[in-house]
Amino acid sequence: MEEIQLEIHGIAQGGDGVGRADGMVIFVTGAIPGEQVRVQITEHRQSYARGSVIEVLRPSPDRIDPITADDGHAAWQHIAYPAQLRLKEQIVREQLAKLAGLSKPPVAPIIAAPQPWGYRNSATLHVEGGKVGYHYSGSRHVSDLTYDPLLLPSLNDALAGLREVLRTFEASVDAVTLRASAAYGYVVGLIHGHDNSSPANLADLGVAWRLRTPVVAGVAVEAQGYVQPTPVYIHDELGGVVFVLSPDSFFQVNASQAEQMLNVIREQLNLQPGNTLLDVYCGAGTFAMPLSVGLRKVVAIEEDPSAVADGIRSAPYNGIINVNFIQAAAERALSRIDEAFDAAILDPPRRGCHPAVLEDLARLSPPTIAYISCHPGILARDLGPLLNVGYRLDLVQPVDLFPQTPHIECVVILRK
């Protein structure tokens, strides 16, 4: 393959360093702005190329030694944490300028994570030929994992126990989901079997895992024809609300930083007693329920039936009676709503909002919108339709939910 020497002058959405050679933009995995590197080109396109660092000729002062060899899910661990924060803030500014035409977006200083390591409360690990771990980047092969420094300590304890019992069970396991309660310190697991797996064998594996690993409080099994005799849930907290969650339901993976996001939203929406709130892509009510105190009504829309079931299950546990969950695709549910709201929250998946959602939100015209985004480029795209109907961008607050990775979470406030 072709090798070139390159000066890195920028950082791209997604975390690659950016350089130029013969007038072509080169995206380089593992490079930091200010470095001179030798690059192996892995992909050629008409207007750009991609490659990866094979030698650092002049390192950045921000380069540090990684603490784990498997960098597929911790792709920025070679960058000192203060520099990670600076680069993430830079990416947000550049994406909003380039894609939304905002020359001076109101980007606040990023909120740093108090724990740059050991913060994740969930992981899905694949099982292949005696190996347990993540898929290698760009591959379906499993990298064998004995310890993940991004995970909460309780999850690494659960992983150690899982590896030990898998050695003695002839079970056809495809993957295992681990979920830890940051509030209460225990773990639940969900074993995903192959189509031809024996449910009884998988259930026995779950029992052995629990007996071997005290931190594992429950194990569910997902296999064809298997009915879980006793439901398995995990309890966690956010904003003073106790959530009762299924093992595979989406919940914020970084508890302390999710609290920071909630604090920003609460302060910026400034909801008053008797107000009404619309929460679109609400999940299990992650933000809807903590913000519901004193409100007249919260309408919470979510497509995933498991997440809605978790929200409905959690509400009475906390004495919450003013959150109305609607289980439907956001674009379908919003088209049937015709009432005024004092504020709205959008927390779409990585792909962003359906265009019809933005159209209906413009029609409903809540005075304040909080948009939670995990992709600055998609955020910039979605801001356009809202800015075009009279909203102004008041705040872009990056929050570092995912240290050691290039992923960036932002809370964006729009007002009329």
Residues 229, 113: Cα–Cα separation, whole Å: 39
Give CA angle at 250 (180, 395), nearest 5°.
Answer: 110
Per 3-state DSSP, what percentage of the chain is helix, strand, and coil (rounded to 5)? 25, 30, 45
Which residue matches tokens 């969950």?
A: 325
Which of 17, 8, 21 is closest to 48 using CA atoms?
Answer: 21
Which of 277, 267, 250 is closest to 350 using CA atoms?
Answer: 250
Residues 348, 301: Cα–Cα separation, whole Å: 11
Is the CB of residue 188 less than 8 Å from the CB of residue 220?
Answer: yes
Is the CB of residue 383 less than 8 Å from the CB of residue 412?
Answer: yes
Which of 246, 372, 261 is closest to 313 using CA atoms?
Answer: 246
Conformational region of residue 131, where left means phi above 0, alpha means psi within -120 to 50, and beta covers everything else: beta
| Catalytic residue status for 410 | no
Residues 328, 352: Cα–Cα separation, whole Å: 16
Catalytic residue among 282, 353, 374, 410: 374
Question: How far from chain centre, in Å, is Cα 22?
Answer: 37
Helical H segments across 150-288, by residue range: 153-166, 199-212, 255-269
> H-helix or E-strand containing 70?
none
Beta-carbon contacts of residue 46 (< 8 Å; ≥ 6 apart): none
Query: Known catalytic residues?
Result: 374
